[in-house]
Structure 1
Amino acid sequence: MTKYKLEYLWLDGYTPVPNIRGKTQIKEFDSFPTLEQLPLWGFDGSSTKQAEGGSSDCVLKPVSLFPDSQRKNGIIVMCEVMMPDLTPHPSNMRATILDDPGAWFGFEQEYFFYRNGRPIGFPESGYPAPQGPYYTGVGYSNVGDMARKIVEEHLDICLDAGINHEGINAEVAKGQWEFQIFGKGSKKAADEMWVARYLLQRLTEKYGVDIEYHCKPLGNTDWNGSGMHANFSTTYLREVGGKEYFEKLMKAFADTREDHIAVYGPDNHLRLTGLHETASIHSFSYGVADRGASIRVPHSFVNNNYRGYLEDRRPNSQGDPYQIASRILKTVASVPTA
């Protein structure tokens, strides 16, 4: 028998952006356990804005697990929060979202490294040289002496965990980076994104650096904000598609613009200004290879008879991938395929 360190993760009840929480229990197993072998566990919901102190018990239900290479015999356990009667807690978005294994999602998570109230690489007052050389940049003057070390280490940890991490790059603003997660099925893709976020935040503890997910941390300045562009496709979109279906789909996205914005992350009005490669929050647009559109249409999609994937550029870096993926699927499901 081996004693495993099980790190149970869940999303708390804070709004508009939940925080990821975690605590460890030790359990013995003959070998690396299956999901079905993992027990339910409880926590004090009054400390996470998920219960009152007089009735504070909440339940953690394991939904996915990942090897944790940073701990001996470590396992990360992603959980849903349940009520004591095992019905989903009101804060449990995962339990209510649409899911479809034929729906594929690729999330592009942008973020800033922060220390002492400003992005790393920024001077104590004022700003560094203007944007331009930082995107996919190299060299100390562009990326500093810490960021690349962290993102490379985070990449390895994610790959060790079996997360489908697809890449990293320095972003447009100094101190800003991005990683990409791809998954088949909205729940799987979102689980892996939340765990990847957790692993990044845990990693930076030892570097004395915070991760800033706010979509426009530098406010009304000429510095880019942070998004979480959502690349998506369905079986029908990949295999059948067609221009007529695509145009109906875009109309459906236009008609549900406000519904999408409502779950695409708070403070998006600060980011979706029509500047810095964004579309205005007040309109909907699409265009081939247009990074300033609400939905960017790849050349490969058009050249393949309107089949493949599309990129919704409106979700922001604080957004909940469960809700983002579910909202996209609701809109896609509203368009007849016959």
Structure 2
Amino acid sequence: MAQILAPSVQCQLKSSRNPTTATPLTSKMWNSLMVKQNKRGGTAVKTSAKFRVVALNSTVNRVEDLLNLDTKQFTDKIIAEYIWIGGSGIDLRSKSRTISKPVEHPSELPKWNYDGSSTGQAPGEDSEVILYPQAIFKDPFRGGNNILVICDTYTPQGEPIPTNKRHRAAQIFGNQKVIDEVPWYGIEQEYTLLQPDVNWPLGWPVGAYPGPQGPYYCGAGAEKSFGRDISDAHYKACLYAGINISGTNGEVMPGQWEFQVGPSVGIEAGDHVWAARYLLERITEQAGVVLTLDPKPIQGDWNGAGCHTNYSTKSMREAGGFGVIKKAILNLSLRHKEHISAYGEGNERRLTGRHETADINTFSWGVANRGCSIRVGRETEQQGKGYLEDRRPASNMDPYIVTALLAETTLLWEPTLEAEALAAQKLALKV
């Protein structure tokens, strides 16, 4: 492990099976898990530390046994964890229900509802919001046939509520022109781990700073890598769940990590990123570490957190695709403001023109240039086909919005010839 994390109660209890390791347990934990000592005549009955450890281990073992129960041999019923996006557009909510038998497709699951007034998505006098199951993943926490269910949200009349961005994305990805181009996405989700209570990155001295950036990116060692066990646990959980995770790495700022999802086609990209985010929230919850997707969690000479989105179409991946990529870049330049407004809250704190970003107000592109809005890989240039990387999205972007907007701008939206000519001249692009 790269460092000793601040573990949750559950993690600490697991380490206490050997009586000699029980001393780190806090008095608060003892009080919550043990019967208070009886008092006789005002004098507490003395109980040995050894007895307390045995009693605690017995309690923990029973809880762990129940958590690890495989119910398949006793019942066909499964647990489905319904997951949806809350009122902020970035917070994830979930609740569980029993399903009579294992399922293989979201259409086999019932719709459900929740109190939208408690998530900022409905008024108290008409608070019911309906959950429509849309994607299923295996549940790495409960195991067995239990599942995680990605849902989107509707009024009782069947209208998508304002925070339901998946509905609009599904419409765009359902357009035949988009379907024919088989849009691929590779999404690089950066995130930052924080110490609980102090809102300061994991591994940093509280109220102080580590050494400057340089050794941390993809680094190894206790003084360079903070939170590797969380990243690895998340990686395996995603693979178990069936999420199309393609890699992970430590990022430039210490305490910051990245995972990649893809290549994924169409609406699947958003489903998989949201499911991966949910797993990360649950894993950090268990570890007692705070997860933030803030695009600039620490001000100053530190990298921000983005969600770079790699994108290609069938035409881009075929011979002559570099010309198609350049045409897509032209369109993206003409809708720069629309994209920036949809690419995440607080992104202006990150897109400053420093720390491997382009200035938020200026559109640019380049080959192998990480200081541009759009980067084209050196291999794409050499082969004359491939993909582009949109480096503008913030770490807290909604993948449904970003993926759908890229498809809409490059495949469905057509600029005027005059605007296209001016943009080509400005960007020195020959399509």
Matched, 1:140 2:222: yes
| Matches for 1:1-338 after TM superposition, within 5 Å | 2-14=76-88, 17-29=89-101, 31-72=102-143, 73-97=145-169, 98-99=172-173, 100-101=178-179, 102-115=182-195, 116-144=198-226, 147-219=227-299, 221-305=300-384, 307-333=385-411, 334=413
Cα distance between partner residues in 2 of 1:229 and 1:141:
27
| Pair 182,238 (structure 1): closer, same or farther in 2 beyond 3 Å | same
AA partner of residue 231 (structure 2): V
Q: Deviations over 1:45-69 (max 9, x none)?
A: 1111111111111100000000112
TM normalised by structure 1 equals: 0.94
TM normalised by structure 2 equals: 0.74
Q: Name the structure where strand makes up a greater proportion of residues.
A: 1
How many residues end up aligned between the 2 structures?
330
TM-superposed deviation, 1:330: 1.3
Moved more, 67-76 or 228-237: 67-76
| Pair 183,85 (structure 1): closer, same or farther in 2 beyond 3 Å | farther
Q: Name the structure where helix makes up a greater proportion of residues.
A: 2
Cα distance between partner residues in 2 of 1:244 and 1:38:
45
Q: Structure 2: which 5+ residue stretches go unaligned?
A: 1-74, 416-431
Cα distance between partner residues in 1 of 2:367 and 2:301:
25
Q: Deviations over 1:283-317 (max 9, x none)?
A: 11111100111111011111122x11110000010
For the Cα contact (< 8 Å) 1:66–1:77, is it kept in 2? yes
Q: Deviations over 1:90-118 (max 9, x none)?
A: 22110012214511111100011001210
TM-superposed deviation, 1:87: 2.2
Cα distance between partner residues in 1 of 2:118 and 2:266:
29
Q: Deviations over 1:315-334 (max 9, x none)?
A: 01010000011111111113
SS at match of 1:54: helix
Cα root mean square deviation, aligned: 1.6
Cα distance between partner residues in 1 of 2:273 and 2:358:
24
TM-superposed deviation, 1:241: 4.0
Percent identity between the two aligned chains: 42
For the Cα contact (< 8 Å) 2:325–2:388, is it kept in 1? no
Cα distance between partner residues in 2 of 1:27 and 1:237:
43
Moved more, 191-200 or 82-91: 82-91
TM-superposed deviation, 1:249: 2.1
Cα distance between partner residues in 2 of 1:183 and 1:40:
29
Q: Structure 1: which 5+ residue stretches go unaligned?
A: none
For the Cα contact (< 8 Å) 2:105–2:135, is it kept in 1? no
Q: Deviations over 1:12-33 (max 9, x none)?
A: 122xx4311100001111x444
| Pair 35,223 (structure 1): closer, same or farther in 2 beyond 3 Å | same
